[in-house]
């Protein structure tokens, strides 16, 4: 029954060939004793032996990859480094090749592969002196993919997180100063996205939606260049909703922190148009988000 089931998978042509092969194999045993067929193997013609090339020494693979990298032949160098990693995993040569693979992918503009290789290096060798560099390459690969402010900012978030991790784990590395500057750029970009959405809400007179976006700017991105506009927009939105104490507080905080700002001058005029002046309310979330704000601010 098992034979019938097995044969059921073959076409008639393949089945006849298979039966013939079995018949020849059956005759091979008794004929093996005869000198005329000594050493004859009827199945030998059907078997193929794959020749496996011996592994190259790690140093040879590494130097080959390094030479190609120096010639800026990034794809060829990556191929050699990957081959070395497979043949000599978790070796010192593999560790070096993984770092150079990260660099080669970065230079080639293959951001995703650079991120994967760099992340893998940091996970495998977090205590090495080159770990900060690998993390920096990961962060920069995300950073180089930051889109304009009108588009989704997921990559900006990833860049910020990667730089933050670099600063947290290796605060004294040679990449610290540059990482801090780029953190500020990414935060400014994220704040700009919130402002862009908030402005659109105001245009549609969705004042609550706008307030929620400007609130994010003040809570999460208070040190960015968008803070003064966010305060002005809050005053505008709260005035439109008739929430006077919050509008006055936004104006007061704006005047205290940016007294020479055009945004403050415009906000002051807006409040005056309603018979109001900038005045802080200690119960306001805006007041709690800032410190040292005077009770009343005027020009």
Task: Specify whether the CB–CB gap between 294 and 275 falls below 8 A.
Answer: no
C-alpha 153/C-alpha 264 separation (Å) is: 29
Residue 291 pLDDT greater than 80, yes or no: no
Q: Which residue has the higher pLDDT, 47 or 7?
A: 47
pLDDT at 56: 82
Q: Which residue has the higher pLDDT, 73 or 46?
A: 73
CA 185 to chain centre: 16
C-alpha 234/C-alpha 208 separation (Å) is: 10
What is the three-class DSSP state of 120?
Answer: helix
Q: Which of 10-19, 30-39, 183-192 has the highest mean pLDDT?
A: 183-192
Report residue 98's pLDDT band, with 50, 70 and 90 as the boundaries: very high
Task: Specify whether the CB–CB gap between 131 and 122 falls below 8 A.
Answer: yes
- Cβ atoms within 10 Å, residue 192: 21
* The two structure tokens encoding residue 170: 């290796």
Backbone dihedral angles phi then psi of residue 191, each to the nearest 5 degrees: -65, -40
CA distances from 64 to 55, 70, 89, 153 (A): 14, 10, 18, 40
Residue 171 pLDDT greater than 80, yes or no: yes
pLDDT at 150: 87
Averaged pLDDT, 254-278:
95
Torsion of CA 95, 100, 102, 103, to 10 degrees: 150
- Tokens 């503009």 belong to which residue? 109
> Residue 137 burial (CB < 10 Å; 0-12/13-18/19+)?
buried
Task: Specify whether the CB–CB gap between 214 and 230 falls below 8 A.
Answer: yes
Residue 220 pLDDT greater than 90, yes or no: yes
pLDDT at 213: 98
| Percentage of the residues of the chain whose pLDDT score is greater than 70 | 79
Was domain 57-140 assigned CATH 3.40.50.300? no
Domain ranges of the chain: 57-140
Task: Specify whether the CB–CB gap between 37 and 31 falls below 8 A.
Answer: yes
The average confidence (pLDDT) of the chain is 84
Per DSSP, what are the bridge partners of residue 279?
296
Task: Specify whether the CB–CB gap between 7 and 15 falls below 8 A.
Answer: yes
Q: Summarize the chain as % helix, strand, coil (round to 5).
A: 70, 0, 30
pLDDT for 22-68, tens place per residue? 333 333 333 333 333 334 343 343 344 434 445 789 889 999 999 99
C-alpha 106/C-alpha 148 separation (Å) is: 21
Task: Specify whether the CB–CB gap between 270 and 262 falls below 8 A.
Answer: no
């Amino acid at each position: 029954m098992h034979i019938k089931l097995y044969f059921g998978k073959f076409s008639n042509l393949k089945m006849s060939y298979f039966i013939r092969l079995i018949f020849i194999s059956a005759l091979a045993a008794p004929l093996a004793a005869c000198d005329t067929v000594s050493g004859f193997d009827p199945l030998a013609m059907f078997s193929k032996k794959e020749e496996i090339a011996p592994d190259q020494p790690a140093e040879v693979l590494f130097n080959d990859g390094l030479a190609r990298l120096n010639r800026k032949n990034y794809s060829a160098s990556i191929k050699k480094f990957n081959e070395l990693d497979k043949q000599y995993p978790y070796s010192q040569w593999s560790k070096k090749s993984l770092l150079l693979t990260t660099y080669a992918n970065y230079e080639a503009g293959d951001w995703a592969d650079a991120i994967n290789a760099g992340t893998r290096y940091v996970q495998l060798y977090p205590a090495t002196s080159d770990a900060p560099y690998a993390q920096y390459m990961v962060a920069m690969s995300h950073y180089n993919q930051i889109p304009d402010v009108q588009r989704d900012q997921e990559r900006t978030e990833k860049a910020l997180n990667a730089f933050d991790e670099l600063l947290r784990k290796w605060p004294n590395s040679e990449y610290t100063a540059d990482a801090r500057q780029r953190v500020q750029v990414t935060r400014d970009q994220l704040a700009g996205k919130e402002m862009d959405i908030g402005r659109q809400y105001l245009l549609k007179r969705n004042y609550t939606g706008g307030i929620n976006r400007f609130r994010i700017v003040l809570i999460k991105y208070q040190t960015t260049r968008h803070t003064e506009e966010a305060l002005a927009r809050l005053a505008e939105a709260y005035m439109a909703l008739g929430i006077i104490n919050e509008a006055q507080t936004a104006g007061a905080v704006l005047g205290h922190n940016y007294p020479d700002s055009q945004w403050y001058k415009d906000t002051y005029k807006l409040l005056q148009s309603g018979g109001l002046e900038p005045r802080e309310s200690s119960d306001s979330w805006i007041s709690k988000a800032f410190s040292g704000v005077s009770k009343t601010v005027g020009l």
